[in-house]
Amino acid sequence: MQPADTETSSIKNKIVLIFATGFGLGFSPVAPGTAGAVLGLVITMLASHLKWIWQIIIYTGLIAIAVPICGMAEQIFKQRDDRRIVADEICAFPLCALGLELAKRSWWFVAIVFVINRVMDIIKPPPARQAQGLSGGLGIVADDIFSSLYALLCNYIILRLIGG
């Protein structure tokens, strides 16, 4: 590898790690995934006023970007699904609030949505846990997608029960 190639590779790796670690949130000493999910919540709040079809387009785009970024970060860290990689939480979190118009909801409902997402990400109901077995970035992101979809179902049930 030529010196210029090494420098380009180093810059590329730094850019990948900036995004994969959620601008450094992944280096949080306590619960880096939860720290990443906070950024996912911010994205969700910003997009919650959009029609659900635009939310789907935006969230699908974020996930499509997260898969290769997470895969490259895994290679850089040389550890399978390294805990510092939080782009999966950031990009999959918005799915748990798809169409819920969080920006129009009370702060306590937003808190419930956040907690349910984190619980589902921790318990990883099937097929979320099995999806972790997929290789590379797809395995890193897929379990969070499934967990967020479970959380979405729970959130709609809660909203229905409280009469929203």
Task: Please spell the DSSP secondary structure of 69-104, one letter per residue.
Answer: HHHHHHHHHTSTT-TT--HHHHHHGGGGGTTS-GGG
pLDDT at residue 65 in the model: 97
> What is the structure's pLDDT at 5?
67
- pLDDT above 90 (res 74): yes
How does residue 85 score in pLDDT terms, banded at 50, 70 and 90?
Answer: very high
For 126, the enclosing helix (H) or strand (E) is none
Predicted confidence (pLDDT) per residue in 16-35, tens digit: 999 999 999 999 999 999 99
Question: How high is the pLDDT of residue 81?
Answer: 92
Q: What is the pLDDT of residue 163?
A: 82
Task: Kindly tell me if the per-residue pLDDT of 43 is higher than 90.
Answer: yes
Percent share of the chain, pLDDT over 70:
96
Per domain, the residue ranges of the chain are 3-161
Across the range 116-131, mean pLDDT stands at 96
Question: Does residue 115 have a pLDDT over 70?
Answer: yes
Higher confidence at residue 3 or residue 149?
A: 149
160 pLDDT higher than 70? yes
Helix, strand, coil % in the chain, rounded to nearest 5: 75, 0, 25
Whether 51 has a pLDDT exceeding 70, the answer reads: yes
Instruction: Compute the mean pLDDT over every residue in the chain, rounded to the nearest whole number.
Output: 94
CA 4 remoteness from chain centre: 34
Q: What is the pLDDT of residue 124?
A: 95
